[in-house]
Amino acid sequence: MRGGDGRDSCPDSIPGSGAQAAARAAELRERIEHHNYRYHVLDDPEVPDAEYDRLMRELVALEEAHPGLRSSDSPTQRVGAAPLSEFAEVVHATPMLSLGNAFGEEELRDFDRRVRERLEVEEVEYALEPKLDGLAASLVYRDGRLERGATRGDGERGEDVTRNLRTIAAVPLRMRGDGHPRVLEVRGEVYMTRSGFERLNERQREAGEKVYANPRNAAAGGLRQLDSGITASRPLTILFHGLGLIEEHPGFASHRELTEGLRGWGFPVSPELEVVRGVEGCLAYYEKIGRRRDGLDFDIDGIVVKVNRLDQQRSLGAVSRAPRWAVACKYPAQEELTVVRGIDVQVGRTGTLTPVARLEAVQVAGVTVTNATLHNQDEVDRKDVRVGDTVIVRRAGDVIPEVVRVLPERRPADTVPFRLPDACPVCGAPAARAEGESAVRCGAGLSCPAQRKQAIIHFASRHALDIEGLGEKLVDQLVEREMVDNVVDLYDRLDAEALAALERMAEKSADNLLEALERSRQTTFPRFLYGLGIRDVGEATAAALARHFGELAALLGASEETLQEVPDVGPVVAANIRSFFGNEKNRALVERLAEILTWPAIPRDAPSPLSGRVFVITGTLGTMGRSEAKERLEARGAKVTGSVSKKTDYVVAGEAAGSKLDKAERLGIPVLGEEDLLRVLDDPSALPEPGDPS
Ligand code: IVH
């Protein structure tokens, strides 16, 4: 994705005097060369792409203002750096070009105007695809068989990674169908899905191995393994997006035809490809894919706009290593630089002390980020994040913002390593790390006000009792003013008069809260159990316990052995449950709650109607991310897969659902909207019959 030469943009200011400009250009070149080396040769970039792009744009503008400064060895005049020496070198039959960037609507309109003028036409047909954030590869097929595969390298020469590419399941070893050209060079993007990346890092962490900063680096690290056995164990995939060379074949008339041809030969191509007329269609597509970006399971950094007709592509040709017939329209970067202003310690519901980095506010992928969790002491140690550090933050998909890593070269002189305190910052009780755990906990339990607050917030949360309007600020006030000590007090001690006295609490909102509390009295057994906030009892375990015991009395009387008969309840969770109910105060709370709340009976050990059902989730959901929807369905026994086939039982379609929804409709698979999904999650018996389109 590097290599856009940013010819289209303007810097903030251009030094006027020649000497000043020359000095600045030299400095920029040095920095860009350095970052190029880190990125292309070491696969270990030091700064986010957005920062690199800014340097490059500044240099391009500087050279434009002072043409005398442009030299053939300037980084603006080439695409990348030399390949690593370990792999055999491959000279590409035709150079692997890079793409120019269009930042914003105006620059895209400029691109379209230039294309129309050169072609002398009124309107151009464009083929549009997401721009995958992975790394480019070129694969040569001779008489239908994979002969050689290479990385892009500097565009002219890459590395021979044939053995590694062969390990990627999405790479055809033999072309399908017929009419194969004698020689075919196809080009595509090797990448890793976000879920594959999370899984890989989890594995790496457990094995004490290197953890990757983002899916792109993980994909690069995977493809460039000298041991292809390691590559094979990495969840890499590929989508093909173009041709290098085609011999003895009549060829194709358009990019769309080309992708259809490739698909027919067994090469995966983007399912999101669209052909539109004119720039308005491109802008609409840019918006549409942008809205879906967070919900995708892979990183994209923009869309690629290509002139669809190949004869028009040929007549437009290329300039300085980038085609005139294509351009990349970038989205806001998913990684940015910022500074750690402080590290706070939060106390969670079960007493866990969590370090949270307070960041200088920064826009990441369109959202202002001001803090990022650092998880636990091990994570802080691994990244060595300190107050004052410049860090890279990443926000992609539904995942909460993360500190990817520190830039050690920007660390101020007087920083100190961060350590979690050995006393609870809220109540002062001793905080310690239990054997074999990563968490440091405050041992004070519900006598710690922080834990009391969190227990109430959790009880009121959406997947528990869902008490609308009872947010963190309000709970803070209620606990601090000693109006509420525990969840029972919400029902027993609050009235309109007391509430109206609180800050920012008008009569109306007091009434609304009381109504919400009233409504919450009618709940479900799993919601109630989840709301208790027993350590390690998440939604899935709560649902399993409810199904297994059917009623509260049976659960309260269950021994650790009996508890372990419940699917997914092991000795640790069983012990947690026993110790929760064994505590007298908890017991009293639970018994009083059972008087206040009501829930419909659950038939004992009834199998969940969701059990074994295969779901596909597509589009954007308003109330939760796709990964959360997946987790919640799986918690109820469903399977969630990525692509629609005859084996799919249900498709959940959010906003702007695309090709998967079309396919579901074609195959007559029942489609659930978001409302339906929420209903089914609450009450799985609301699930329509499979194959019974609703
Ligand atoms: S077409 C002349 N289509 O972006 C190059 N490239 O910045 C034409 N990329 O090296 C490339 N997704 O690796 C094309 N749908 C897509 C792409 C794509 C990602 C990468 C490609 C290329 C880089 C250029």
pLDDT value for 258: 94
Q: Distance (Å, rounded) from C-alpha 4 to C-alpha 244?
A: 19
Q: What is the distance in A from the centroid of ligand 1 to the CA of 272?
A: 15
pLDDT band for position 37 (cuts 50, 70, 90): low
Q: Distance (Å, rounded) from C-alpha 42 to C-alpha 535?
A: 43
Q: Is 216 in the pocket of ligand 1 (CB under 6 A)?
A: no
Q: Is 129 in the pocket of ligand 1 (CB under 6 A)?
A: yes
Asked if 615 and 640 touch (Cβ cutoff 8 Å), the reply is yes
Atom number in ligand 1 closest to CA 98: 24
Atom number in ligand 1 closest to CA 131: 12
List, as one string, the DSSP characters of 518-529: HHHTB--HHHHH
Nearest to 312 by CA among 126, 187, 188: 126
Question: Which of the two residues, 398 and 331, has the higher pLDDT score?
Answer: 331
Q: Is 132 in the pocket of ligand 1 (CB under 6 A)?
A: yes
3-state SS record for 257-292: HHHHHHHHCCCCECCCCEEEEHHHHHHHHHHHHHHH
- Helix, coil or strand: residue 133: coil
Give me 140's structure tokens.
């040569």
Beta-strand pair 157-159/101-102: unpaired
Q: Distance (Å, rounded) from C-alpha 273 to C-alpha 255?
A: 10
Work out the average pLDDT over 199-206.
Answer: 88
Which helix (H) or strand (E) segment is 612 a member of?
none
Q: Is 326 in the pocket of ligand 1 (CB under 6 A)?
A: yes
Indicate the domain borders of the chain: 18-77, 100-330, 335-410, 443-605, 614-686
pLDDT value for 7: 38
pLDDT value for 47: 82
Work out the average pLDDT over 471-481.
Answer: 92
Q: Distance (Å, rounded) from C-alpha 444 to C-alpha 430?
A: 8
Crossing angle of helices 104-119 and 278-292, in 10° steps, is 140
List, as one string, the DSSP characters of 536-582: T--HHHHHHHHHHH-SHHHHHT--HHHHTTSTT--HHHHHHHHHHHH
Portion of the chain with pLDDT greater than 70, in percent = 94
Q: For residue 452, what is the DSSP state?
A: H
Tell me which architecture the domain covering 614-686 has in CATH.
Answer: 3-Layer(aba) Sandwich (3.40)
Asked if 186 and 243 touch (Cβ cutoff 8 Å), the reply is yes
Q: What is the distance in A from the centroid of ligand 1 to the CA of 55?
A: 21
pTM: 0.72
pLDDT value for 505: 77
Give me 83's structure tokens.
């390949």
pLDDT band for position 163 (cuts 50, 70, 90): confident
pLDDT value for 514: 94
Catalytic annotation, pick one of 131, 306, 330, 453: 131
Q: Is 303 in the pocket of ligand 1 (CB under 6 A)?
A: no
pLDDT value for 340: 98
Residue nearest to atom 4 of ligand 1 (CA): 1
For the chain, the residue count is 694
Q: Distance (Å, rounded) from C-alpha 187 to C-alpha 151?
A: 10
Q: How many helices (H) and strands (E) does the chain have?
A: 25, 24
pLDDT value for 32: 85
Q: What is the distance in A from the centroid of ligand 1 to the CA of 550?
A: 56
Q: What is the distance in A from the centroid of ligand 1 to the CA of 176?
A: 24
pLDDT tens-digit readout, 49-85: 788 889 988 998 999 899 888 876 677 764 333 444 5
Q: Is 48 in the pocket of ligand 1 (CB under 6 A)?
A: no
Work out the average pLDDT over 639-645.
Answer: 85
Q: Is 543 in the pocket of ligand 1 (CB under 6 A)?
A: no
pLDDT tens-digit readout, 178-192: 889 999 999 999 999
Work out the average pLDDT over 386-395.
Answer: 96
Reading phi first (left if > 0) and then psi (alpha if -120 to 50, else beta), residue 466 is in left
Question: Over the chain, what is the mean pLDDT?
Answer: 88
Asked if 385 and 357 touch (Cβ cutoff 8 Å), the reply is yes
Asked if 271 and 277 touch (Cβ cutoff 8 Å), the reply is no
Work out the average pLDDT over 322-339.
Answer: 94
Q: What is the distance in A from the centroid of ligand 1 to the CA of 328?
A: 8
Residue nearest to atom 3 of ligand 1 (CA): 241
Asked if 571 and 560 touch (Cβ cutoff 8 Å), the reply is yes
- Helix, coil or strand: residue 288: helix
Q: Domain 100-330 has what CATH class?
A: alpha beta
Q: To which residue do tokens 């140690």 refer? A: 381
- In a 13 Å sphere around the CA of 448, the CA atoms on its Cβ side amount to 26
Portion of the chain with pLDDT greater than 90, in percent = 59
Q: Is 236 in the pocket of ligand 1 (CB under 6 A)?
A: no
pLDDT value for 42: 55
List, as one string, the DSSP characters of 665-693: HHHT--EE-HHHHHHHHH-GGGPPPTT--
pLDDT tens-digit readout, 549-602: 989 999 999 999 999 999 889 999 999 999 999 999 999 999 999 999 999 988
Atom number in ligand 1 closest to CA 323: 2
pLDDT band for position 14 (cuts 50, 70, 90): low
Is a pLDDT exceeding 50 seen at residue 400?
yes
Q: What is the distance in A from the centroid of ligand 1 to the CA of 367?
A: 26
pLDDT value for 39: 64
Nearest to 111 by CA among 323, 253, 290: 323
Q: Is 473 a catalytic residue?
A: no
Residue nearest to atom 23 of ligand 1 (CA): 1
pLDDT tens-digit readout, 600-628: 988 776 677 888 899 999 888 888 888 78
Backbone angles phi, psi at 441, to 5 degrees: -120, 145
Q: For residue 269, what is the DSSP state?
A: B
Q: Is 98 in the pocket of ligand 1 (CB under 6 A)?
A: yes
Q: Distance (Å, rounded) from C-alpha 681 to C-alpha 238?
A: 34
pLDDT value for 3: 40
CATH 2.40.50.140 fits 335-410, yes or no: yes
Nearest to 136 by CA among 98, 162, 81, 86: 98
Is a pLDDT exceeding 60 seen at residue 2?
no
Q: To which residue do tokens 């590097």 refer? A: 2
Tell me which architecture the domain covering 18-77 has in CATH.
Answer: Orthogonal Bundle (1.10)
pLDDT value for 131: 97
| Beta carbons within 8 Å of 690's beta carbon, 6+ residues apart | 613, 649, 650, 670
Q: Distance (Å, rounded) from C-alpha 638 to C-alpha 543?
A: 13
CATH 1.10.150.20 fits 443-605, yes or no: yes
Q: For residue 333, what is the DSSP state?
A: P
Atom number in ligand 1 closest to CA 2: 7
Is a pLDDT exceeding 70 seen at residue 146?
yes
Q: What is the distance in A from the centroid of ligand 1 to the CA of 475?
A: 51
Q: What is the largest CA-CA distance in the chain?
A: 86
Asked if 89 and 83 touch (Cβ cutoff 8 Å), the reply is yes
Question: Which of the two residues, 374 and 438, has the higher pLDDT score?
Answer: 374
